[in-house]
Amino acid sequence: MKKIFLLLFTTALLISCSDDIENLNTNVKDPSVVPGEALFTSAQKSLVDQMMSTNVNDNVFRLLNQYWTETVYTDESNYDLVTRTIPEQHWQYLYKDVLKDLDQSAININNTPVPVTENPLNKPNKLAIIEVLNVYTYAILVETFGNVPYSQALNLQYKTPKYDDGLTIYKDLISRLNKAIANLNPAGASFGDNDRIYNGDVSKWIKFANTLKLRLGITISDIPSEAALAQATVASAAPNVFTSNLDNADLKYLTATPNTNPLYVDLVASGRSDFVPANTLVDKMNELNDPRRAKYFDNNLDDPSTPEVEYVGGTYGASNTFSNYTHITPTIQVPDYPGTILDYAGAEFLLAEAAERSLYGTPADAETHYNAAITASILDWGGTQADATTYLATSEVAYATATGNWREKIGHQAWIAYYNNPFEGWSTYRRLDYPVLVAPADAVSDVPQRYTYPIIEQSLNKSSYTEASQAIGGDAVETKLFWDKF
């Protein structure tokens, strides 16, 4: 009997020791479940970081738009997107660091009990804001690549997710956005300090969501089969979009790493001088005597003996000696300069398009929105109302006398205004076909209309990759996407 008791005691002791040893692997200082609000903050910052970055490993939209060009290493200015696997980085940032975090944020918030003292509208507001950023992020992926993983994208059950049709995704995004807008209620709060863009202001998110909705409607407005959807989407969104620069979706960066503006990281902290403004943009702004030159560019070539500052852009796609050309303004290189993903000037350009397309108002209204867009851009960059009035009075800028049709007029001015929001500049260029950008002599392709799919997809998800490539008309940068073929 004593032997049996001793055996049971020893066994119990071993089990107890085993439990204690396994508990040593538990980090009691960190929560076992990350709060959904923290995941939202992380996703929000990762999204804006990727859209603002100018690190050539991650983001080359400023180069594709010919806003900037390179000095020593010119591969990306000549549209080599493969050597540094740029499409793969963009793909992974948006899927892994943004969409996955947003997905888990929604799960954790859903699973967290609401205190009885909290406004019951707060949780639905948080979930709706997460959904709005989901829609924005998927729209960026579709506009970058075409067909992409969507219905199976975040489900680990699918090791090789299928690529859904881009237009089908886009139409579903509009539906999701409508539902999210309906669920946003300014009588409740949301993320508070965890929201680095609007500090939890639900009324601002309602404007953001409607501005995004306007953008989605305009994007599909050239597709004949989607005319009714484009009309309904634009008309319902337009009265509720941004109404001033105070509505701009600016993520607030801080002065200390790792929360600094990516341009500070890429241009200052790196200690490198890899970029100068491109002659494509500088020459156009010189031609128009654009008052934003002093805001976009540095005055490093200033000659005190001459009355005007000289701005000289580097030759796009060529090697450019950094000291010989105009430099990028120091303003956007400070650590806490905000990153903007949607703004009031952009909303007004979209409304000008909507008027010309008779989707909201009439073509006669386009000039008013065009003028408002340019004025908003000049003021947002620190210019004055007088600067805007003088600029809009010049024959090359005035809507009635500027060269070309409405696509050319809006296209050129939107391209200039999107200087520090390069993805929007690229999307507008592709949709309106202005300005006319010319590939440099040594380019490996024509001006890119999309990113090619990540190379890793060809090996890990080959069947889905092959099907998607064939469906969109070929995995080439020149392939025009479904919204850009008309």
Segment-wise mean pLDDT, segments of 10 residues, the chain, 486 residues = 38 40 40 84 98 95 98 97 96 98 97 92 98 98 98 94 98 98 98 98 98 98 98 98 98 95 95 96 98 97 85 97 97 97 98 98 97 98 98 98 98 98 98 98 97 95 98 98 93
Q: For strands 275-277 and 68-70, give the pairing.
A: antiparallel
User: What integer pLDDT is reported at residue 212 of this predicted model?
Assistant: 98
User: What integer pLDDT is reported at residue 304 of this predicted model?
Assistant: 82
User: What integer pLDDT is reported at residue 116 of this predicted model?
Assistant: 87
pTM of the model: 0.93
Query: How far is the CA of 454 from the CAs of 82, 127, 164, in angstroms?
Result: 8, 31, 16
Going by C-beta distance under 8 Å and a sequence separation of 6 or more, which residues neighbour residue 178? 213
Q: Which residue has the tokens 């929105």?
A: 369
In contact, 55 and 422? CB cutoff 8 Å: no
Helix, strand or coil for residue 85?
Answer: coil
Express each pLDDT in 280-318 by its tens digit. 999 999 999 999 999 999 999 998 878 788 999 999 999
Residue among 441, 450, 454 at smallest CA distance from 478: 450
Query: CA-to-CA distance for 479 and 90, rounded, in angstroms?
Result: 18
Going by C-beta distance under 8 Å and a sequence separation of 6 or more, which residues neighbour residue 303? 310
Query: How far is the CA of 269 from the CAs of 54, 256, 262, 264, 436, in angstroms?
Result: 13, 12, 10, 6, 34
Query: How far is the CA of 266 from the CAs of 57, 278, 333, in angstroms?
Result: 11, 18, 9
Query: How far is the CA of 305 from the CAs of 133, 301, 329, 432, in angstroms?
Result: 51, 12, 22, 42
User: What integer pLDDT is reported at residue 3 of this predicted model?
Assistant: 38
- Helices and strands of the chain, counted as H and E runs: 19, 6
Residue among 424, 392, 426 at smallest CA distance from 409: 392
| Segment (H or E) for 403 | none
Beta bridge partners of 250: 340
Query: CA-to-CA distance for 149 and 95, rounded, in angstroms?
Result: 10
